[in-house]
Structure 1
């Protein structure tokens, strides 16, 4: 998968993982998604610690829909 071109206001990792442009205001969950790492070509499973939306939830600023 090719990474999207960097544009202001987009989550690059979430855009790559979800396969679509993701605006920063969306703050989507990527936890639970498995992708292929670019260099090693090994699968990587995103966990809650990798997810910015989970960090926001843990800080008490909203939950997962």
Structure 2
């Protein structure tokens, strides 16, 4: 079985981000919101890597 990629991180960063590695920080990056088409800027509050640093259980699953 080949490992997959983190879809949101891959889209925002513009490169494949394998699930085997650590989830990258997206905080401070801007992308286009899928439904509205408006610019969307990630903050530490909605960055999965930041959330995992605050609570290591957040990435468990």
TM over 0.5, shorter chain? yes
Taking the aligned partners of 2:44 and 2:38, their CA distance within structure 1 comes to 19
Residue 47 in structure 1 maps to residue 46 in structure 2: no
Backbone CA RMSD of aligned residues: 2.1
| Structure with the higher fraction of residues in helix conformation | 2
Q: Give 5+ residue unaligned stretches, structure 1.
A: 1-6
Residue 17 in structure 1 maps to residue 4 in structure 2: no
Using the size of structure 1 for normalisation, the TM-score is 0.70
Taking the aligned partners of 2:53 and 2:5, their CA distance within structure 1 comes to 20
| CA shift for structure 1 position 44 | 0.5
Using the size of structure 2 for normalisation, the TM-score is 0.74
Q: Give 5+ residue unaligned stretches, structure 2.
A: none
